[in-house]
């Protein structure tokens, strides 16, 4: 028997430290929170995905009176991105959220397990790491890949 561990590398950054491209993506994820349809949780999430064709696709969480029928911002964005540009590879996703008071969350939120799995599919298809930017009001986390967010992922059968 041997002890081992999974280490998740990420950077903690301020908005001003980001590249112009990353700042634009964060801006669009923040704006997308305003298009959230979340009458049940009042928790507004936005996502923006940069594709290798230069397009940026955004999404926001879409809730439903039958709660499980709703979808997170990340899956709204990634399904729409791949349905619209099936040949394009994902490059970076930025995620932002506003709490029930309407203020941006102080600490970044991280995608749920289902969204990590869905995003991993497109990272696998892309054949290259998809960077992840988790956005809080003052602090951002930069992860090098979706895979780094989902250790022991199920990727093939
Ligand atoms: N939600 C997202 O859209 N993305 C996440 O990463 C976490 C949660 C949504 C789902 C639901 O509409 C609301 O936030 C509260 O869970």
Beta bridge partner(s), residue 13: 140
Q: Give per-residue pLDDT as tens, 127-142.
A: 999 999 999 999 999 9
Q: Please give the distance, rounded to the nearest whole angstrom, from the Cα atom of residue 41 to the centre of ligand 1.
A: 8
Is residue 129 lining ligand 1, measured as CB closer than 6 Å?
A: no
| Alpha-carbon distance values, 149 to 100, 107, 119, 120, 142 (Å) | 26, 17, 10, 9, 11
The residues annotated as belonging to the active site are 74
pLDDT tens string 30-43:
999 999 999 999 99
DSSP-derived letter for residue 17 is G
Q: Which run of H or E residues covers position 99?
A: none
Rounded to whole angstroms, the Cα distance separating 49 from 88 reads 11
Protein residue with least CA distance to atom 4, ligand 1? 72
For residue 81 and ligand 1, the question of a CB distance below 6 A is answered with no
- Read off the pLDDT of residues 63-113 as tens digits, 9 standing for 90 and up: 999 999 999 999 999 999 999 999 999 999 999 999 999 999 999 999 999
Average pLDDT of the residues in 107-120: 97
* Segments in 10-156 forming alpha helices (H): 20-32, 73-84, 113-126
pTM: 0.97
Distance CA 25, CA 18 (A): 10
């Amino acid at each position: 028997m041997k002890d081992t561990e999974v280490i998740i590398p990420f950077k903690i950054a301020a908005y001003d430290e980001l590249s112009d491209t990353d700042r634009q993506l964060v801006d669009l994820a923040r704006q997308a929170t305003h298009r959230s349809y979340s009458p049940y949780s009042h928790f507004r999430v936005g996502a923006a995905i940069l594709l290798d064709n230069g397009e940026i696709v955004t999404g926001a969480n879409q809730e439903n009176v039958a709660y499980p029928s709703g979808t997170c911002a990340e899956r709204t964005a990634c399904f729409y991105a791949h349905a619209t540009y099936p040949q394009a590879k994902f490059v970076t996703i930025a995620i932002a959220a506003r709490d029930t008071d309407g203020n941006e969350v102080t600490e970044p939120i991280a995608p749920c397990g289902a969204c990590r799995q869905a995003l991993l599919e497109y990272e696998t298809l892309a054949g290259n790491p998809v960077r992840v930017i988790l956005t809080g009001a003052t602090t951002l986390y930069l992860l090098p890949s979706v895979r780094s967010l989902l250790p022991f992922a199920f990727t093939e059968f």
